[in-house]
Amino acid sequence: MSGIVVVFDFDKTIIDIDSDNWVVDELGFTDLFNQLLPTMPWNSLMDKMMMELHSKGVTIEEIEEVLHRIPIHPRVIPAIKAAHALGCDLRIVSDANMFFIETILEHLKIKEYFSEINTNPGYVEEGRLRILPYHDFNKAPHGCCGLCPPNMCKGLIIDRIQDSFSQDDDKKIIYLGDGAGDYCPSLRLKQRDFMMPRKNFPVWDLICKDPSLLKAEIHGWTDGEELEQVLLQLISQISMEKDALFMSSDCKTQTLLISAHEPLPKVLHVRP
């Protein structure tokens, strides 16, 4: 393993548009969605929209068919496969839902490249799709950057991922995202990590207000082609630095071993 964890947002990062909007628009429910949006949180609205779709006779198969047609930039799948082949641990953190994400990833045949999908529960119940909140903050509201939706704080998910690393394995995170919800996790990244915000999208604008608030190195990207270039460049750079570090620590070990066998001619202490 490379010791690199790549965390992808899903909507407008892996796929080129927002999956919730795509399903609602493609099935002709845009007006109802826009009418209800001011009245409830996005996540609750999506659950309600799925109920509306079901009551108007839209089947799960029709939703799946719409998801199978979702636009994705042609360089994103090769980028995911290359990062995986280079030994990176790939994960998803998304405010979409499990049903949409799994349906799309299975259709694209890339689900097995991801070790973890953190998203809102989404499942079929009596022929209708249910979409529930990831967190239940009704009992204990979360206070973070103030921009996270009530159902999901991606910053808390990054905290949990970082807490799962053992002290000495020095794992680095590369985080890719576009939305305002990707700002909270960007603030949690450490100095050794990398933030890849999509240029001129909400997370980019938020970061640009005061980039010094981030400890991680910032590398922007505009589309799937640049996502691939920047991501693979970062992975190879990190791997090279790691190799260099490993070689130098190896030399030190040799010197120490030699030192332990005194007396020896001093010339042996000189590195080749």
Point out which residues bind Zn ion (CB under 5 A): 144, 148, 153, 155, 184
Assess whether 11 carries a catalytic annotation: yes
Q: CB 158 → Zn ion: shortest distance, Å?
A: 9
Q: How far apart are CA 144 and CA 141, in angstroms?
A: 10
Q: What is the CA radius of gyration of the chain?
A: 23
Q: Which among Zn ion, Mg ion, none contacts residue 214 (Cβ within 5 to 8 A by kind)?
A: none
- Under rule CB under 5 A, residue 20 binds Mg ion: no
Q: Which among Mg ion, Zn ion, none contacts residue 50 (Cβ within 5 to 8 A by kind)?
A: none
Amino acid at 7: V
Q: Which among Zn ion, Mg ion, none contacts residue 153 (Cβ within 5 to 8 A by kind)?
A: Zn ion
Q: Specify the stretch interacting with Mg ion by CB under 5 A; choose among 128-136, 174-182, 183-191, 235-243.
A: 174-182
CB 258 within 8 A of CB 264: yes
Q: Token match 């001619």: residue?
A: 265
Q: Annotated binding residue at 163? A: no
Assess whether 168 carries a catalytic annotation: no
Exposed e or buried b for every residue in 47-61, given b needs 16+ CB within 10 A?
Answer: bbbbebbbeeebebe
Structure tokens at 122: 């989404």
- Under rule CB under 5 A, residue 193 binds Mg ion: no
Q: How far apart are CA 78 and CA 58, in angstroms?
A: 34
Among the listed residues 11, 47, 89, 228, the single contact to Mg ion using CB under 5 A: 11
CB 155 within 8 A of CB 142: no
Strands 122-125 and 128-131, bridge-based pairing? antiparallel
Q: Which among Zn ion, Mg ion, none contacts residue 47 (Cβ within 5 to 8 A by kind)?
A: none
Q: Which among Zn ion, Mg ion, none contacts residue 7 (Cβ within 5 to 8 A by kind)?
A: none
Task: Name the β-bridge partners of 221.
Answer: 198
Which among 19, 17, 39 is positioned nearest to 122, based on CA atoms?
19
Judged by CB, which is closer to Zn ion: 133, or 155? 155
Strands 172-177 and 4-8, bridge-based pairing? parallel
Q: Annotated binding residue at 205? A: no
Q: CB 148 → Zn ion: shortest distance, Å?
A: 3
Q: Annotated binding residue at 95? A: yes
Query: Per the residue annotation, which of 11, 18, 47, 193 is the catalytic one?
Result: 11
- Under rule CB under 5 A, residue 179 binds Mg ion: yes
Return the H-helix or E-strand segment holding 1.
none
Q: CB 154 → Mg ion: shortest distance, Å?
A: 10
CB 7 within 8 A of CB 91: yes
Judged by CB, which is closer to Mg ion: 180, or 232? 180
Among the listed residues 178, 216, 230, 235, the single contact to Mg ion using CB under 5 A: 178
Judged by CB, which is closer to Mg ion: 12, or 54? 12
Binding residue positions for Mg(2+): 9, 11, 178
